[in-house]
Structure 1
Amino acid sequence: MSHTAEWKIRLHLFEDDDGTTKAHLVLDTGTAALTAHGSAHCHPADTNVPEIGDDLAAGRAMVDLAHQLLETAERDIQGMASRRLSTHETTGRPL
């Protein structure tokens, strides 16, 4: 059985006056939405290069999203295993 899906991601980047870049990411799967965040801080002694802050903040938001997706998958797997065990207990059929 084949399966295709399209997920949409919106990524917003904001830079504060103090050199902090923040990323706000929203993943829309069509059935659920996950929100992730990331930030980057420019050291006062460094030259402020907004593109570097954008890359770091966006990357960190994507790492946050990746962790959330992995945790969601783990919970789903555990839920499937629990259902399989309870079905076996009520039907007496082998797993």
Structure 2
Amino acid sequence: MQTMKRWDVDVVVAEESEGESAHTWAEVGLIADDGTALRGHGMARKHPYDFDAPEIGEELAVSRALSDLSRQLRQVAAEDINDNTGNPWRPT
């Protein structure tokens, strides 16, 4: 038996510039079929002496937001494993 589910991840990126410096924020959201909703956040800073390449800040901020989301999803899975088996999950 094969089943398929689709989980959509929404990505929002915002940048704020002031003079030669900039901050980029990213938020990623996941809503699973079972209603589980998680939001990951990430941020990147442009140093005033860095060259102007906004896509680098976006990539860093989004990757950090996805990493945060991944950490949260692992925690949810660990709690589900513990709830269903009575044994705490031990990452390998």
Secondary structure at 1:17 match in 2: strand
Q: 5+ unaligned residues in a row in structure 1: which ranges?
A: 84-95
How far residue 4 of structure 1 moved from its aligned partner, in angstroms, is 1.4
Instruction: Map 1:1-95; keep pairs closer than 5 Å.
Output: 1-18=1-18, 19-30=22-33, 31-82=35-86
Larger Rg: 1
Count residues with an aligned counterpart. Answer: 83
Percent of pairs with identical residues: 35
Structure 1: 4+ residue segments shifted above 6 A? none
Higher helix share: 1
Task: Show structure 2 runs of 5+ residues with no match.
Answer: 88-92
Q: Counting strand residues as a fraction of each chain, which structure ranks higher?
A: 2
Secondary structure, in 3 states, of the residue corresponding to 2:49?
A: coil
TM-score (norm 2): 0.83
